[in-house]
Amino acid sequence: MKHFPIFLSVEGQRIVLSGGGEAALAKLRLLLKTEADLVVFAPSPAPEIETWATEGRLTLHRRALAVGDTRNTALFYAADEDAIEDARTASIAHAEGALVNIVDNLEDSQFITPAIVDRDPVTVAIGTEGAAPVLARAIKADLEAKLPATLGALARIGKAFRKMADILPMGRVRRDFWADYYFNEGPRALDRGGEAEVNKALQALVEKHEKAEQLPGHVAFVGAGPGDPELLTLKARKALDAADVVIHDRLVAPEILELARREATLIDAGKQGFGPSMDQDEINRLIVSHAAQGAQVVRLKGGDPTVFGRLDEEIDAVEAADIDWHIVPGITAASASVAAIGQSLTRRGRNSSIRFLTGHDVKGFADHDWQALARPGEVAAIYMGKKSARFIQGRLIMHGADRATPVTVIENASRPDQRTLATTLEKLPLDLAEARLNGPALTFYGLAPRAAQTALFLQDQELA
């Protein structure tokens, strides 16, 4: 982020603009929405500017800007649409301590003006750092259509009512009250009879929510999927939206954590594969202690929480504390990985079953029914299989597996940095070492990417 969005307090502040043409008009239309003290310098101003000056909405000086004109000025706009004049006025304003924007000159500007969706006091600012004005306009049009025109009125009335709502207990009850106001009762009351109705509805709502009981604590064990936020379920999104506390593993992508309610407490239980980690008892205690205080806890796990996620230990702890819980399934790494190579997990005539294996368990490298796996046509999705690759290879070959059996490793499935390594059982450990994968990786034993050509393509492209 090269530009950090903030909302600047401009009430009563001096904002100066130099210019009297189209660019000046476009900026002034926005600036007139503010409560700033607007001053325009233009030797030949457009008629609209003259009108605004007559109406007392800005102060107009029919001359070029000169030294001293931008003292005590918060913002300065150079909008003369003339590079030399803009540079001259900007340098005066800069020297006099104003923040400077030169219209259509991102490089020499200290700030930029975003595209704005105005539902005052609700304001949405959209910026693309100059990269894609078309995109900003499209997003603006989309939001204009989505946000009801009454939103501003509701927010204004709501703001005046804030103190009255303070009698509700903080946290969930108060939040539910406001959600009920903005999304149900408020818009209906406004339709019925304007501001007076809304005020009545607010009174009634406070009484209704005063009686509402605090929800008891609850734990949702939620699958965050393999990384792509679009692979989250709607239920996962809802749970994140309602969470007071989100306890997540290391595998959960930051883009997904961004979706948690803004006030939610995020706790990284950061279970590293081999590195230091919060131990399981500690995690259990953390979940229970938050839920016991009445929090809506989301225990967010990579992929599907029921796959190699130590879910049962956490459920046992939660049940022992007599706390309600439920599971929201997620897309497991095997599903995302198989999609990435254009294959099916099962296929008529090839494999009518698929095993999910872990490369290691509490005792170290995990043991499996190697004999059964070594039979031709078997397919297994191996989780946490990087370090154990040589061990698994050895066991399988020892039990008669064909050394030419295809093996595909997918790293960071569904993420922008996804990579695919197509190899064979024989070459697996060597190729793995060479590829230096350091993200989470899933190994398919018995599956190659859909076509040999695809495999070569993937290899060339992604391991180049």
* Positions marked catalytic: 249, 271
Give the angle 397-403-405 at the CA atoms, nearest 5°. 110
Residues 242 to 261 in contact with ligand SAH, rule: CB under 6 A: 251
**Which of residues 20, 186, 227, 446 is near ligand SAH by CB under 6 A?**
227
**Which of residues 115, 219, 317, 413 is near ligand SAH by CB under 6 A?**
413
Q: Which is nearer to ligand SAH, 133 or 273 (CB)?
A: 273
Residues 6+ apart with CB under 8 A from 403: 397, 424, 425, 426
**Which of residues 38, 154, 267, 441 is near ligand SAH by CB under 6 A?**
441
Least distance to ligand SAH, CB of residue 221, Å? 11
**Which of residues 93, 410, 425, 448 is near ligand SAH by CB under 6 A?**
410
Give CA torsion, residues 396, 444, 301, 417, to 10 deg.
130
User: Could you give the C-alpha distances from 412 to 61, 251, 302, 381, 420, in angstroms and in order?
Assistant: 61, 10, 12, 15, 9
Select from 321, 322, 183 the least CA-distant residue to 241.
Answer: 183
Least distance to ligand SAH, CB of residue 415, Å? 6
Residues 133 to 152 in contact with ligand SAH, rule: CB under 6 A: none
**Which of residues 307, 317, 374, 458 is near ligand SAH by CB under 6 A?**
307
The reply to whether 440 sits near ligand SAH by the rule CB under 6 A is yes
Alpha-carbon distance 374 to 399, whole Å? 6
The reply to whether 20 sits near ligand SAH by the rule CB under 6 A is no
Alpha-carbon distance 16 to 42, whole Å? 11
Least distance to ligand SAH, CB of residue 226, Å? 4
Residues 56 to 115 in contact with ligand SAH, rule: CB under 6 A: none
Contact 229, 256 (CB under 8 A): yes
User: Could you give the C-alpha distances from 75 to 23, 99, 456, in angstroms and in order?
Assistant: 16, 5, 57
Q: Which two tokens stand for residue 85?
A: 């004049």
Contact 93, 73 (CB under 8 A): yes
Least distance to ligand SAH, CB of residue 345, Å? 13
| Residue 101 host element (H or E) | strand 99-102
- The residue type of 107 is E
Give the total residue count for the chain: 464
Least distance to ligand SAH, CB of residue 217, Å? 24
Phi, psi angle pair for 326, to nearest 5°: -155, 165
Give the angle 428-252-293 at the CA atoms, nearest 5°. 140
Query: What does the per-residue mask of binding to ligand SAH show for 263-302, with x meaning CB under 6 A?
Result: --------------------------------------xx
Least distance to ligand SAH, CB of residue 60, Å? 60
**Bridge partners, 124 (sequence order):** 117
Number of chain residues interacting with ligand SAH (CB under 6 A) = 24
The reply to whether 226 sits near ligand SAH by the rule CB under 6 A is yes
- Give me the residue whose beta carbon is nearest to ligand SAH: 303
Q: Name the one range near ligand SAH by CB under 6 A: 3-11, 212-220, 425-433, 438-446.
A: 438-446
Residues 343 to 402 in contact with ligand SAH, rule: CB under 6 A: 383-384
Least distance to ligand SAH, CB of residue 413, Å? 3
Query: What does the per-residue mask of binding to ligand SAH show for 318-347, with x meaning CB under 6 A?
Result: --------------xx--xx----------
Contact 58, 35 (CB under 8 A): no
| Residue ranges with strand state E in 188-276 | 218-223, 245-248, 265-268
- Distance between start and end Cα atoms, the chain: 29
Q: Name the one range near ligand SAH by CB under 6 A: 153-161, 284-292, 393-401, 407-415.
A: 407-415
Question: Using CB under 6 A as the criterion, which residues of the chain lie in contact with ligand SAH when the complex forms?
Answer: 226-227, 251, 301-304, 307-309, 332-333, 336-337, 383-384, 410, 412-415, 440-442
